[in-house]
Structure 1
């Protein structure tokens, strides 16, 4: 089985990301509160240093931006798989 580069997909990227997902009908107030609290936690010096020690760049997104990002990633992965 060839690697993606050997198969001619020289520019293929494999970003690693983590997102938080909730059930579809979760009330918007809960979604917004959770996003706000996670963003606050990721901004604290102790969490930032632990995340940085893992070699991770922390990036927070609004729920709508995460939705757009995930949909684009899924489309790109599906195109690569085809």
Structure 2
């Protein structure tokens, strides 16, 4: 027995259909291709900066790498 009546088409759940829907939504929200691309680029840069801050660089050659937790200062 089918979950949908025979006269209704199945929803397209492919990756291409999802991407197309996202692009359509972006164009509707921002009004132009340029504005949509600017919004995507902005979000991408913010995500990259956030990811860069949250990634541990580890302990390299006896020194903490740049971006890692600061080394606590010793009280003199």
User: Do the two structures share a fold, i.e. TM-score over 0.5?
Assistant: no
Q: Which structure carries more strand by proportion?
A: 2
| Structure with higher RCO (Cα < 8 A, 6+ apart) | 1
CA radius of gyration, larger in:
2
TM-score (norm 1): 0.30
